[in-house]
């Protein structure tokens, strides 16, 4: 069975060496001293590796079962959920006034990475609740906040988001679910929603569904969509769960992975709902949840890659097969361990350089969110808005590929469910799809985010890279292995942007045909930037006589690998982009 060890040391490196969080002037960051974050991360590391990770395979094998309208979660999930609640892990970065711990978002993400690495399907019950709570926090009335938030912050009640219907996913304007206004100000919600993660289960006393629906007579299409709170049990005056509402799980989906999470078809039959935010402004409210969810999903790409990588390394050190071509390394054994072989190392270094780069990227991005929310920094808000589709699309695509590579290290055993490597791949696959399929992320990036505010945010990004390069001009230790490749990659990204500007005007398809490659190109530049920065602080640490020299040297080597072996992808993406829409759009649909 696979194991999981929380990468506390690497997180501490990113938080303190790289991001220097406790020196930041973002409100709340002053508390993030190394010993404090270490204590939190160590504790989270314990519960995730000891309690949640062992349940990962159980969840995959047993899945969820629907019987007489009741959904049974896998063995051990209820007890583990109780432990998570009791440990106070559910409201880490939610406001203290509703029972949370009020820590910055960056800490929520660091801890969230561990939960998801240990057990993605399990962590979703909590993750969806967090997203739903955030939406209520942002758009709810005081009464709604008081009614729902304390219970959701503690996960006594869980939450869901209901967008998709059988005939519409991305194109929510086609939605059919109706919300009919009642005299008491509530609505009667009727319709069917599909793919509802954590839609029904018995682990919580109530489930608070956030449901998109149309109020009859409202504007056509997406502009007529509103968001509603639809509790499984209607909440009594005293705040306790009361009568069963007209919402039920019609079926559980049989999925490729995340079997431990109950993915439901939800039927709403004149269920009582309460408007959340303004009528017909449901998409805006939902996007509060969606943007947060997209970062969380991007993180899932990292988390499955990390868990798979850890196990691949263990196997590569343990499994004896073949001999080192440059000389026997394990003369007392019948063969050398796999890890002596160059192609196994190439494979593992791909993984290692991805996960560590992705971790830095996502934690740095989280500080942008804190900066936007806690400091009201509009530039940070614009930048994270630009980067969100990159985080979601690039990290889940690459993260998935890494789980496939980790599986490969096991040879035939990687294909056998008993070893658990297939599960990482199957679980990771969903992240490329949900919260907006990655093609939609690419469209969002190129079609919307690039030009937002007159292209201000992408210019700010380029400026940031340029500033870093300038500041380190003359740093010979960084130049060849880090600064030069970063400069070249960043130039590719700018050239791609330029191509879009020049050719997208003539025909938007010239830009949209290259959107997916642009998303990946952008992602590589982000990871390249992170690696250059990590190399820099590691070199500084070594110069300052850091105790754990090996850690910093390893970091620099891993970064050099990324720059030499992964970053050259940018030129390929640029070449693809520069070929434009011509061959992409030429065929009649009939000729596919």
Work out whether 404 is an interface residue with a copy of itself (CB under 8 A): yes
Alpha-carbon span 114 to 42, nearest angstrom: 10
DSSP 73: P
Tell me how far, at minimum, the Cβ of 563 lies from a copy of itself, in Å.
Answer: 9
Q: Name the residue nearer to a copy of itself (CB basis): 368 or 534.
A: 534
Token pair recorded at residue 208: 């608070």
Pairing of strands 247-252, 263-275: antiparallel
Please tell me whether residue 225 binds a copy of itself under the rule CB under 8 A.
no
Determine the 3-state secondary structure of 209 from DSSP: strand
Taking a C-beta distance cutoff of 8 angstroms, is the pair 210, 276 a contact?
yes
For 264, the 3-state DSSP assignment is strand
Query: Which of 295, 277, 498 is closest to 385 using CA atoms?
Result: 295
Query: SS3 for 211?
Result: strand
Tell the smallest beta-carbon distance from residue 334 to a copy of itself (Å): 5
A 10 A CB-CB count for 303 gives: 32
442 binds a copy of itself per the rule CB under 8 A: yes
| Using rule CB under 8 A, residue 175 touches a copy of itself | no
For a copy of itself, which residue of 56, 425, 472, 538 counts as binding (CB under 8 A)? 425
How many CB atoms are closer than 10 A to CB 371? 25
How far apart are CB 555 and a copy of itself at their closest, in Å? 10
- Nearer Cβ to a copy of itself (24/388): 388
Q: Which two tokens stand for residue 498?
A: 């330029």
**Is residue 564 at the binding interface for a copy of itself, with CB under 8 A as the rule?**
yes
Among 164, 226, 355, 388, binds a copy of itself (CB under 8 A): 164
Please identify which of the residues 253, 418, 435, 553 carries the catalytic annotation: 435
One of 16, 214, 359, 576 touching a copy of itself (CB under 8 A): 576
From 142-150, 272-280, 364-372, 560-568, span contacting a copy of itself (CB under 8 A): 560-568
Residue 492 CB, shortest distance to a copy of itself, in Å, is 11
Which is closer to a copy of itself, CB of 216 or CB of 342?
342
Task: Choose which of 232, 426, 520, 536 interacts with a copy of itself (CB under 8 A).
Answer: 426
Q: Please report whether residue 56 would count as binding a copy of itself according to CB under 8 A.
A: no
| Residue 69 sits in the site that holds a copy of itself (CB under 8 A) | no
Q: Which is nearer to a copy of itself, 34 or 549 (CB)?
A: 549
Helix (H/G/I), strand (E/B), else coil: 235? strand
Question: Rounded to the nearest whole angstrom, what is the least distance from the CB of residue 411 to a copy of itself in the complex?
Answer: 5
List the x/- string, 489-528, binding to a copy of itself by CB under 8 A.
Answer: ------------------xxx--xx-xx------------
Calpha distance 461→451 (Å, rounded)? 13
3-class DSSP state of 104? coil
Q: For the residues of 492-529, what is the DSSP string, one character each?
A: HHHHHHHHHHHHHTT-HHHHHTTHHHHHHHHHHHHHHH
Question: Smallest distance, Å, CB 162 to a copy of itself?
Answer: 13
Integer CA distances (angstroms), 234 to 56, 191, 207, 231, in order = 33, 18, 10, 6
C-beta of 244: minimal distance to a copy of itself in Å? 28
Q: Choose, by CB under 8 A, the member of 447, 460, 462, 477 that binds a copy of itself.
A: 447
Alpha carbon of 446 to those of 210, 368, 498, 517: distances in Å?
A: 29, 21, 12, 10
Q: Please give the size of the binding site for a copy of itself, defined by CB under 8 A.
A: 94
**Min CB(32)–a copy of itself separation in Å:** 27
Two tokens at 54?
A: 């062992």
Taking the complex as a whole, the smallest distance from the CB of residue 346 to a copy of itself amounts, in Å, to 5
438: contact with a copy of itself by CB under 8 A: yes
Number of C-beta neighbours around residue 453 at 10 A: 15
Task: Give the closest residue to 285 by CA, choosing from 226, 203, 245, 334.
Answer: 226
Compute the distance between CA of residue 160 and CA of residue 156 in angstroms, rounded to an integer: 14
Contact string (CB under 8 A) for a copy of itself, positions 113-152, x = contact:
----------------------------------------
What is the phi/psi pair of residue 64, to 5°?
-105, 150
CB of 205 to a copy of itself, least distance (A): 29
Q: Is 79 a catalytic residue?
A: no
Does 479 engage in binding with a copy of itself (CB under 8 A)?
no
Should residue 34 be labelled a site residue for a copy of itself when binding is judged by CB under 8 A?
no
Q: What is the 3-state secondary structure (H, E, C) of 281-314?
A: CHHHHHHHHHHHHHHHHHHHHHHHHHHHHHHHHH
State which of positions 282-301 bind a copy of itself (CB under 8 A): none
Distance CA 21, CA 27 (A): 11
Q: How many residues does the chain have?
A: 592
CB count in 10 Å sphere of residue 325: 9
Q: Which of 148, 195, 364, 500 binds a copy of itself (CB under 8 A)?
A: 195
Which residues ranging from 248 to 267 are in contact with a copy of itself (CB under 8 A)? 253-257
Q: Select the residue interacting with a copy of itself from 1, 416, 459, 549 (CB under 8 A).
A: 416
d(CA 427, CA 116): 11
Q: Which stretch binds a copy of itself (CB under 8 A): 287-295, 346-354, 465-473, 541-549?
A: 346-354
CB nearer to a copy of itself: give 494 or 557. Answer: 557
Which part of the chain contacts a copy of itself (CB under 8 A), choosing from 181-189, 198-206, 268-276, 337-345? 337-345
Q: Binding to a copy of itself by residue 12, rule CB under 8 A? A: no
Selected binder of a copy of itself within 66, 180, 234, 433 (CB under 8 A): 433
Token reading at 124: 């979703």
> Could you say which of 104, 224, 337, 382 contacts a copy of itself (CB under 8 A)?
337
**Catalytic site positions:** 435
């Amino acid at each position: 069975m696979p194991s999981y060890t929380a990468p506390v040391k690497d997180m501490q490196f990113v938080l303190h060496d790289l991001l220097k969080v406790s020196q930041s002037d973002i409100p709340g960051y002053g508390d993030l001293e190394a010993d404090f974050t270490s204590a939190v991360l160590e504790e989270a590391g314990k519960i995730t590796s000891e309690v949640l990770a062992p349940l990962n395979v159980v969840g995959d094998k047993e899945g969820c079962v629907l019987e007489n309208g009741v959904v049974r979660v896998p063995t051990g999930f209820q007890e583990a959920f109780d432990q998570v609640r009791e440990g106070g892990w559910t409201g880490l970065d939610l406001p203290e006034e509703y029972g949370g711990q009020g820590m910055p978002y960056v800490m929520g993400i660091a801890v969230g990475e561990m939960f998801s690495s240990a057990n993605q399907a399990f962590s979703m019950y909590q993750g969806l609740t967090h997203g739903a709570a955030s939406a209520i926090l942002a758009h709810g009335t005081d009464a709604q906040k008081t009614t729902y938030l304390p219970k959701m912050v503690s996960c006594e009640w869980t939450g869901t988001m209901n967008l998709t219907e059988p005939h519409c996913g991305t194109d929510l304007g086609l939605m059919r679910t109706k919300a009919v206004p009642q005299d008491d100000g509530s609505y009667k919600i009727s319709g069917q929603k599909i793919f509802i993660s954590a839609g029904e289960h018995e682990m919580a006393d109530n489930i608070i569904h956030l449901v998109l629906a149309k109020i009859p007579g409202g504007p056509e299409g997406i502009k007529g969509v509103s968001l509603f709170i639809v509790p499984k049990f209607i909440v009594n005056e005293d705040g306790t769960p009361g009568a069963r509402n007209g919402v039920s799980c019609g079926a559980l989906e049989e999925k490729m992975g995340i079997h431990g999470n109950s993915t439901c078809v939800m039927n709403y039959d004149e269920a009582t709902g309460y408007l959340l935010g303004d009528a017909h402004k449901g998409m805006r409210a939902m996007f509060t949840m969606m943007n947060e969810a997209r970062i969380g999903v991007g993180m899932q790409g990292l988390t499955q890659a990390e868990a798979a990588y850890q196990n691949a390394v263990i196997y590569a050190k343990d499994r004896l097969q073949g001999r080192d071509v440059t000389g026997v390394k394990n003369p007392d054994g019948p063969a050398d361990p796999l890890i002596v072989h160059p192609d196994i190392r190439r494979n593992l270094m791909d993984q290692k350089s991805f996960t560590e780069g992705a971790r830095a990227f996502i934690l740095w991005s989280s500080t942008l969110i804190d900066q936007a929310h806690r400091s009201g920094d509009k530039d940070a808000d614009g930048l994270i808005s630009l980067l969100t589709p990159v985080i979601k699309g690039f990290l889940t695509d690459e993260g998935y590929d890494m789980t496939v590579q980790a599986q490969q290290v096991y040879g035939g055993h990687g294909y056998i469910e008993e070893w658990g490597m297939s599960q990482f791949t199957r679980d990771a696959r969903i992240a490329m799809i949900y919260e907006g399929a990655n093609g939609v992320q690419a469209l969002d990036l190129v079609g919307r985010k690039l030009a937002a505010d007159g292209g201000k945010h992408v210019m700010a990004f380029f400026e940031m890279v340029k500033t870093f390069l300038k500041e380190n001009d003359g740093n010979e230790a960084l130049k060849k292995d880090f600064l030069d490749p970063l400069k070249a990659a960043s130039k590719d990204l700018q050239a791609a942007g330029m191509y879009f500007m020049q050719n997208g005007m003539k025909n938007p398809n010239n830009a949209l045909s290259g959107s997916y490659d642009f998303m990946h190109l952008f992602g590589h530049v982000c990871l390249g930037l992170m690696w250059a920065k990590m190399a820099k602080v590691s070199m500084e640490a070594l110069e300052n006589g850091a105790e754990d020299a090996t850690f910093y040297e390893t970091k620099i080597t891993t970064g050099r690998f990324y720059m030499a072996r992964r970053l050259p992808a940018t030129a390929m993406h640029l070449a693809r982009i520069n070929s434009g829409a011509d061959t992409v759009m030429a065929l009649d649909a009939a000729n596919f």
